Amino acid sequence: MAVLESRWSTRRREKGRRLEQLGITGSSKVVDAWCIDDVLATLIQPGDRVSIEGDNQKQADFLAGALAQADPERLHDLHLLISSVSLPVHLDIFERGVASRLDLAFAGPQSLRLAQLVEDKVVTIGAIHTYVELYARMFVDLPPTVALLCAEGADEDGNLYTGANTEDTPTIAEATAFHDGIVIVQVNKIVDTLPRVDIPGDWVDVVVVSPKPYKLEPLFTRDPGKIGRVEILKAMLAIRGVYERHEIVSLNHGIGLDTAAIELILPTYGEELNLRGRIARNWVLNPHPTLIPAIESGWVESVHCFGGEPGMERYVAARPDVFFTGRDGSLRSNRVLAQLAGQYAIDMFIGSSLQIDGDGNSSTVTAGRLAGFGGAPNMGHDPHGRRHGSAAWLDLASGEGANRRGRKLVVQLVETFKAGGTPTFVDRLDAVDVGEQAGMPLPPVMIYGDDVSHVVTEEGVAYLYKADSIEERREAIAAVAGATPIGLRHDPQVTERLRRDGVVALPEDLGVDVRRADRSLLAAKSVGDLQAWSGGLYDPPARFRNF
């Protein structure tokens, strides 16, 4: 190695200085949990950019908690990068004056408190991203000075085993380790030999055994017991009007009872329609328990996962032909690669939304909540950088000559009204006002109307990609918007014309018998049924053991 001039290696020298001060330049990378306060006080300095692993599911909660205990006289003005601000302690770090600036992707359960802290000027938000955007910036203008990560286990050399929830760890570790940042990892245990290596020890500076296992949320478990007739009707409409019609082979499902209903009627309704093997073969999604009956019935060829799901460990390990797993048998997930697959390699993204406006723009941001985006905008748009064809993608092709191109299906699957009688279709998204109040440069829209190809409601299917003007798109949305303010404005004569032109389809147009929409179509009616389908391999988390 050439002798480094100090003016070109400030990051490396500073990293070396801090590690030396801590005294772990030697052999083992493992430090004791009781000295974590000293470790953080030595390795983190005021003004640092610190990435805390707050993923969609797993949380570096011990390290986040320790950072919240830091002395704000010594440690302050940190700039935090947290993809999912999920824990109260994430915001405690700001309230205690240790951090002041935040870049994030999602803030589900903390969204109300975050909005308040922004208004109180305790938190300054850099930007709200999608997951992959935030990681992308770690390689451009936001490389972390320090990363606080988590894993299942480590060996003395710092090699890491993540088990099923690899999630975001390799990406944050790479951005930090290869730009002379400091990588600190909390693990559940230290072992001599890891079941497999997910991240080389080479990329890790300090390992600490957390007093308790890291927190992991079962975000993707939906109880079939909660699925009713309306969800089943929508599922039938989606299968006939979208999956069958466009031959959807590869897909992502968002979280929710609507998509869970689709998963659960594939082995019944889908089988009747003779669709097994023709649709829904290749999936990009977390290991949804409600997918078990379809897997066991031979519908599913492959599933690549963003993360894991508590309780699905033994089932996934027993189905390696379907899931991506390691030598040790357990799932290997990877959020960046699954997002890439979900953006570029699948025919369809289908998901729900809390609000849709007359133009088809949608958002899950509602009054007073800075909820963020997660991964939906990345997968829920038509990627202009895609160049390979598939039957579904080409089925939506338009344009002539050099302008001809295919299109990804982006499907919104919603009920016209939500529980409590709140309309889903609204004149103005709450997101517009939330964005203004929070001083955001643009409204936090989740999916743009012109990217949406289909809207499915209990009323029918709107084929927005066929609309030849923004007016016709609005008319098609209104036609399936039921008795909401948007729906009430629809003109029955226009709807008839749209049906004739194939821009809108009602249940009878799709051969869907509304009377059959009941729970008898569900391949599993309870969490217990899912467990039975799995042959006892699925272990539902305690909160779902209600059968």
Of residues 210 through 249, those in contact with a second copy by CB under 8 A are 249
Within 10 A of 56 (CB to CB), how many other CB atoms are there? Answer: 25
Within 10 A of 397 (CB to CB), how many other CB atoms are there? Answer: 12
Which of 386, 497, 516, 519 is close enough to bind a second copy by CB under 8 A?
386
CB 155 within 8 A of CB 162: no
Q: At what angle do helices 61-68 and 36-43 cross, to 10 degrees?
A: 70
**Binding residues for a second copy restricted to 504-543, rule: CB under 8 A:** 537
Residue 191 makes contact with a second copy by CB under 8 A? no
Site string for a second copy, 249-278 (x = CB under 8 A): xx----------------------------
Q: Which is nearer to a second copy, 233 or 280 (CB)?
A: 280
Q: Which is nearer to a second copy, 113 or 473 (CB)?
A: 473
Which of 27, 193, 274, 403 is close enough to bind a second copy by CB under 8 A?
403
Among the residue ranges 182-190, 209-217, 254-262, 423-431, the one whose residues contact a second copy (CB under 8 A) = 423-431
Which of 214, 373, 465, 544 is close enough to bind a second copy by CB under 8 A?
373
Task: Give the total of residues touching a second copy (CB under 8 A).
Answer: 111
Half-sphere exposure of 270 (CA within 13 A, CB side): 32
Residue 451 makes contact with a second copy by CB under 8 A? yes
Which of 143, 241, 254, 293 is close enough to bind a second copy by CB under 8 A?
143
Structure tokens that stand for 245 in this block? 């019609």
Residue 67's contacts (CB-CB under 8 Å, 6 or more residues apart) are: 40, 44, 50, 52, 78, 93, 98, 148
Q: Which is nearer to a second copy, 211 or 389 (CB)?
A: 389
Which of 33, 35, 71, 139 is close enough to bind a second copy by CB under 8 A?
139
Residue 397 makes contact with a second copy by CB under 8 A? yes
> How far is 204 from 192, CA to CA, in rounded Å?
17
Structure tokens that stand for 100 in this block? 């002041």
Which of 51, 56, 59, 130 is close enough to bind a second copy by CB under 8 A?
130
CB 368 within 8 A of CB 434: yes
Q: Which is nearer to a second copy, 330 or 416 (CB)?
A: 330
Shortest approach of a second copy to residue 389 CB, angstroms?
4
Q: 344: closest CA among 250, 253, 412?
A: 250
Residue 222's contacts (CB-CB under 8 Å, 6 or more residues apart) are: 255, 256, 257, 260, 288, 289, 290
Among the residue ranges 233-241, 265-273, 424-432, 514-522, the one whose residues contact a second copy (CB under 8 A) = 424-432
Residue 396 makes contact with a second copy by CB under 8 A? no
- Beta strand ranges found along 40-172 (DSSP E): 49-52, 58-59, 78-84, 99-106, 124-128, 146-154, 160-161
Which of 171, 186, 290, 453 is close enough to bind a second copy by CB under 8 A?
171
Residue 282 makes contact with a second copy by CB under 8 A? yes
Among the residue ranges 46-54, 200-208, 253-261, 266-274, the one whose residues contact a second copy (CB under 8 A) = 200-208
3-class SS letters over 433-499: HHHHHCCCCCCCCCECHHHCCEEEECCEEEEHHHCCCHHHHHHHHHHCCCCCHHHHCCCHHHHHHHH
Among the residue ranges 1-9, 77-85, 206-214, 453-461, the one whose residues contact a second copy (CB under 8 A) = 1-9
CB 31 within 8 A of CB 62: no
Residue 384 makes contact with a second copy by CB under 8 A? yes
Among the residue ranges 54-62, 280-288, 491-499, 524-532, the one whose residues contact a second copy (CB under 8 A) = 280-288
Q: Which is nearer to a second copy, 324 or 547 (CB)?
A: 324
Shortest approach of a second copy to residue 347 CB, angstroms?
10
Residue 385 makes contact with a second copy by CB under 8 A? yes
Going by the DSSP 8-state scheme, the letter that residue 543 receives in this structure is G
Element holding 208 (H helix, E strand): strand 206-209
Say how many residues make up the chain.
Answer: 547
**Binding residues for a second copy restricted to 342-361, rule: CB under 8 A:** 343-346, 357, 359, 361
> How far is 252 from 257, CA to CA, in rounded Å?
15
> How far is 224 from 324, CA to CA, in rounded Å?
25
**Binding residues for a second copy restricted to 41-60, rule: CB under 8 A:** none
Residue 406 makes contact with a second copy by CB under 8 A? yes
Site string for a second copy, 469-508 (x = CB under 8 A): ----------------------------------------
Residue 30 makes contact with a second copy by CB under 8 A? no
Amino acid found at 332: R
Residue 304 makes contact with a second copy by CB under 8 A? yes
Shortest approach of a second copy to residue 71 CB, angstroms?
30
In the block, residue with structure tokens 């963020």: 372
Structure tokens that stand for 45 in this block? 């300095």
Going by the DSSP 8-state scheme, the letter that residue 57 receives in this structure is S
Residue 174 makes contact with a second copy by CB under 8 A? yes
Q: Which is nearer to a second copy, 11 or 500 (CB)?
A: 11
Residue 108 makes contact with a second copy by CB under 8 A? no
Q: 49: closest CA among 129, 119, 120, 142?
A: 142
Q: Which is nearer to a second copy, 310 or 444 (CB)?
A: 444
